[in-house]
Structure 1
Amino acid sequence: MCQRPGAATGRQRAQQVNDKFGLIPPELGMPVLGQVSDSSRRRAIKALVLLMTFMPASYIAYRSAPWREWTADYATRTGERRSLSLNDGTELQLNTDTALDVQFDAAQRLIRLHRGEVLVDTGADPRRADEAFRPFWVQTRQGRIRALGTRFVVRRDHEVTRVQVYDGAVEVLPAHAAARQVIQAGQQLSFSAEAVQLPRPVDPHGADWARGLLVAQQMPLGEFAQELARYRPGLLRCDPAIADLRISGAFQLDNTDQVLAALPDTLPVNVVYRTRYWVSLTPA
């Protein structure tokens, strides 16, 4: 059979593109490329060329997407908590919807917190006398926290990181600022990539989630609903008309439905379930 000049070259070029990027499965790609008409073949080649043009942009998007969160060393689902013991004696408590990586090498001990919240109780670094001391760091998108022999909580909140120190001290280093701040036990602060806030007294119940408790002391109901929503899938909203009502108590995080069911007993509110995953707090 006589073959039109350039047809084989076009098919070979398309196959070379496919071999490089794996765009079409072999069992499907060869029959398609070998049997389509000339016009269809030209359209297929153009489509592959467009894909070649699109690939670099897609790769950039991949690098900037939360891929590291999806492939984290350790993660918890919504409503789940997890405990970890590291080989230096450090104990980690991962709160709901948390993802982190652990990287220990000869120079440092590093926790990369991609999302969520972690309670860190640092251990003494076991090493030989001739080995250098390895500092302990927790890194977020906003910067780094260096542990100075301590027990502390790190939480990612949108564009800021919040640190609460319960024992020892930590040093905070924002990613894009020269300023640094040492926080002592009994203090907390938030920082962005550009700035560090002044320390303020720590929330004495800020780590009670590690014991499965949400402790509220005259907490606005709107804020309480936001915190409780972190531990249940779906949507939990609070009507602005009742958002300033105050609530106090210790609430079990392992049964958020029970917590919601008890609210009308103490506050003038209704709990409205549209579905299991769409709940609203409304005025009674």
Structure 2
Amino acid sequence: MPDPTAPLDPQVVREAADWLVRLHSGEAGDAERRAFEHWRQARPEHEQAWQRAERLQQRFGAVPPALGVPVLTRQARSKRRTVLKSLATISVALPAGWFGYQILRGEAQGVYRAGIGEQRPLLLADRSAVRLNTATDLAVRYTDAARLLQLERGEIYVETAPDAHGQPRPFLVDTDHGRLRALGTRFSVRALDGEDRTALHVLEHRVEVVLRASGERRIFEAGDSVRFSAQSFDGQARPAPGAPNAAPAWTRGMLEADDMRLDAFLQELARFRPGIVRCAPEVAHLRVSGVFQLGDTDHVLDVVAQTLPVRVVRRTAYWVTVTSS
């Protein structure tokens, strides 16, 4: 009999977590459920991961199973407390409209914005789909020569569609650091605050990048993740985070942390709330793993304080410091 506490392949964990969220989203149809059953029976490790999910559901009762995804990631050899892997068992609801904003149709010109903690999906004139993440400004400029998006700040997730406008036009995304050309693909682009860099994750097919200052040109394949400035690429492409071909976690209202330093985790969390979140140097090295609902960032901070040797000091609702307990 398999050891219920034995480590699982992280990839299997991510796949199980993704199925958990999709099946409890209320949108899964018969075809998706059949695909899930096929995945579940394909390998013993798949069934083992899913059984952990079912035990989690029984343990937390009324708590939606998707909120408990991180327990699946527990590693027996880890010295960290099991509860650190359970940080996503946060009983909060996502804000109304996180997934259900009315999608804009028709017009493919203008500037679109998502405020802090918001998302905004756009369906463009050519039926390409774009989702704006928190604190994002995006200019859309469609002409007879090109389909151009200008990312002013923030992050977008793009699913391109074939161009039916006579002569096919290139699909381009401009940032301060370069021009990206989609080669029939899905990808995400983020302007990194304070780093003078752009981050690209390719989820399907390929994306070509031409650096704005040096003119250096590279093509990145599905699964690649890379950062670049206007002058150079930051080394070789790395595997993109999350499950292969899966949309970024933020598009599902979640923040993924895979053995992430606490200071980096709080920096990511701060993107989804107004004000400032600071991390004291003496606790910055603590590690966080899990999948966290972004609907109530104050609740996330409270759970961090309950599960790590830290405390959350709130000077005001907009000035928060996480320091040692």
Which residue matches 1:175? 212
The CA RMSD measured in Å over matched residues stands at 1.2
SS of the equivalent of 1:233 reads: coil
Q: 1:13-43: CA deviations, max 9, x gaps?
A: xxxxxxxxxxxxxxxxxxxxxxxxxxxxxxx
Q: Map of 1:1-284 to 2, 5 A cutoff?
A: 73-127=111-165, 131-157=166-192, 158=194, 159-197=196-234, 198-204=236-242, 207-284=248-325
Amino acid at match of 1:97: A
- Using the TM superposition, give the Cα deviation of residue 178 of structure 1 relative to its aligned residue in structure 2, in angstroms: 2.7
- Using the TM superposition, give the Cα deviation of residue 217 of structure 1 relative to its aligned residue in structure 2, in angstroms: 1.1
Q: Distance in 2 between matches of 1:244 and 1:181?
A: 35
Amino acid at match of 2:155: E
- Using the TM superposition, give the Cα deviation of residue 253 of structure 1 relative to its aligned residue in structure 2, in angstroms: 1.1
Q: Distance in 1 between matches of 2:209 and 2:302?
A: 41
Higher relative contact order (CA 8 A, sep 6+): 2
Q: 1:199-254: CA deviations, max 9, x gaps?
A: 11111168110110001111100000000001100010000100000011111112
Amino acid at match of 1:103: R
Question: Identity across aligned pairs (percent)?
Answer: 45
* Structure 1 gaps, min length 5: 1-71
Q: Distance in 1 between matches of 2:259 and 2:232?
A: 30
SS of the equivalent of 2:184 reads: coil
Amino acid at match of 2:287: R
- Using the TM superposition, give the Cα deviation of residue 153 of structure 1 relative to its aligned residue in structure 2, in angstroms: 0.4
- Using the TM superposition, give the Cα deviation of residue 264 of structure 1 relative to its aligned residue in structure 2, in angstroms: 2.0
CA contact (8 A) 1:177 1:194 kept: yes
Q: 1:81-133: CA deviations, max 9, x gaps?
A: 11110011111110000001111111100000000000001011113xxx322
* Structure 2 gaps, min length 5: 1-109
Q: Distance in 1 between matches of 2:136 and 2:268?
A: 15
Q: Distance in 2 between matches of 1:279 and 1:191?
A: 31
SS of the equivalent of 1:241 reads: helix
Amino acid at match of 2:131: Q
Amino acid at match of 1:264: A
- Paired residues, what number? 210
Q: Distance in 1 between matches of 2:215 and 2:298?
A: 46
SS of the equivalent of 1:244 reads: coil
Q: Distance in 2 between matches of 1:264 and 1:161?
A: 32
- Using the TM superposition, give the Cα deviation of residue 147 of structure 1 relative to its aligned residue in structure 2, in angstroms: 0.2
Q: Distance in 2 between matches of 1:132 and 1:91?
A: 20
- Using the TM superposition, give the Cα deviation of residue 142 of structure 1 relative to its aligned residue in structure 2, in angstroms: 0.7
| Structure number, greater radius of gyration | 1
SS of the equivalent of 2:313 reads: strand
Which residue matches 1:66? none
TM-score (norm 1): 0.72
CA contact (8 A) 1:93 1:118 kept: yes
* Displacement over 4 Å in runs of 4+: none
CA contact (8 A) 1:76 1:98 kept: yes
CA contact (8 A) 1:189 1:199 kept: yes
SS of the equivalent of 2:278 reads: strand
SS of the equivalent of 1:262 reads: helix
CA contact (8 A) 1:111 1:138 kept: yes
- Using the TM superposition, give the Cα deviation of residue 283 of structure 1 relative to its aligned residue in structure 2, in angstroms: 0.5
TM-score (norm 2): 0.63
Amino acid at match of 1:88: D
